[in-house]
Chain A
């Protein structure tokens, strides 16, 4: 149980295009999902907290107009990188917090984005 999937696993796109990444909780409902960005030296940066049915809460320094988050259902959150540039190339990881619990976060396998 408690499986989180991400799609796509990897994506290559041209500079200036937009890319959508999906995060799904497969066997549980998640009121809250989180989006992280992992840099080459492995540190994880929390980008935003996504709450079902409401606006995402972005961490300081994260551009909300560039990284659009939608959490339209209890099992799906999407991150759209708009007008992507090479500096947006990174490993994006989502996690989901099962509804009715706290502390627990289950992570997706990550999405490798490369912007040419």
Chain B
């Protein structure tokens, strides 16, 4: 079945440091790929997505490129801010039958950015 393997945290960085959170997946075919972010005490928000191989998703300074050859979708940001402190989830959708699509999530990576 589909699976997502995500770099385990927690990750602690100083402000303006470079961030990489690794994500690899196994899936049938070429699904879309997502990064979700969860700020403290809140639900999940879609951060960025890519719908096909070599697509680059980007938002709020974050980027991730869909690499078919390495089945990866690593999240990067060149200069993190304290406000980026959150939990980040890599996810991919899969058809679960009866017309519905479930998301398979990685375990989440907690990022803490210190001033």
Give the interface of A toward B (CB within 8 A). Answer: 4, 6, 31-32, 34, 42-44, 46, 49, 51, 54, 57, 93, 95, 97, 102-103, 105-110
List residues of chain A with CB within 8 A of the CB of B103: 34, 46, 95, 105
Known: A49-B102, A51-B100. Contact between A43 and B43, CB under 8 A?
Answer: no
Query: Are A43 and B93 within 8 A (Cβ)?
Result: no
Stretch from B15-23, B72-80, B104-112 forming part of the interface with A: B104-112
The answer, among B31, B100, B105, for a CB contact under 8 Å with A32, is B100
Residues of A within 8 A of B96 (CB): 49, 57
**Which of A43, A51, A108 is the one whose CB lies under 8 Å from B108?**
A43
Tell me the smallest distance from the CB of A87 to a CB of chain B, in Å: 21
Residues of B within 8 A of A6 (CB): 43
Binding site for A on B (CB under 8 A): 31-32, 36, 38, 41-46, 87, 89, 93, 95-96, 98-103, 105, 107-108, 110
A57 CA to B108 CA, complexed, in Å: 25
Bound form: Cα–Cα A46–B93 in Å = 13
Q: What's the minimum C-beta distance from A92 to chain B, rounded to whole angstroms?
A: 10
CB contact under 8 A between A42 and B110, given known A49-B96, A103-B32, A108-B43 = yes
